[in-house]
Amino acid sequence: MFRGRHFDRSVILVCVRWYLAYGLSLRDLKEMMAERGISVDHSTIHRWVVHFSPLLLERFNRRKRAATGKWHVDETYIKVRGQWMYLYRAIDSVGDTVEFYFSEHRDLPAAKRFFRKALERHGRP
């Protein structure tokens, strides 16, 4: 996955993780790496995020614990980045989130999209 890269994989993973987890800007990450003695351009970090995010998500989902056979579904109205959104989520019997979906509208197509996504990824409960 990291073969042929100029930087060590630990540097790449730290930059991608910090960008995705903490919402830092690319230029902030560039400065943080410079403080640690690593000279990397913000556009390089952006390329890493675009390239490695889907790969890391795929690997994470492969190792993720399978959902139990019993789910329950709920929906709520929450504020996300200053905008009100509907949150649909499925929770298994252990209390872990099986799947979630944000929608601007509370309607039948949004609910169908959520259920289709949950059933595709986790099968029928």
Whole-number pLDDT of residue 30:
96
Is the CA virtual torsion 41, 43, 48, 53 positive or negative? positive
Phi, psi at residue 8, to the nearest 5°? -65, 150
Q: Which of 103, 98, 97, 63 is nearest to 83 (CA)?
A: 103
| Residue 43 or 6, more confident | 43
Express each pLDDT in 43-83 by its tens digit: 999 999 999 999 988 888 777 666 667 888 888 999 888 88
Whole-number pLDDT of residue 11:
93
Task: Round to whole Å and give the CA distance between 124 and 4.
Answer: 42
Q: For the full predicted model, state whether its pTM sits above 0.75.
A: no
| Cα angle 123-98-10, degrees, rounded to a multiple of 5 | 110
- The answer to whether residue 38 scores a pLDDT higher than 90 is yes
**At 41, is the pLDDT very low, low, confident or very high (cuts 50, 70, 90)?**
very high
Mean of the pLDDT values across residues 12-40?
93
Q: What percentage of residues in the chain have a pLDDT greater than 70? A: 96
Sorted by where each begins, the domain ranges of the chain are: 9-63, 71-122
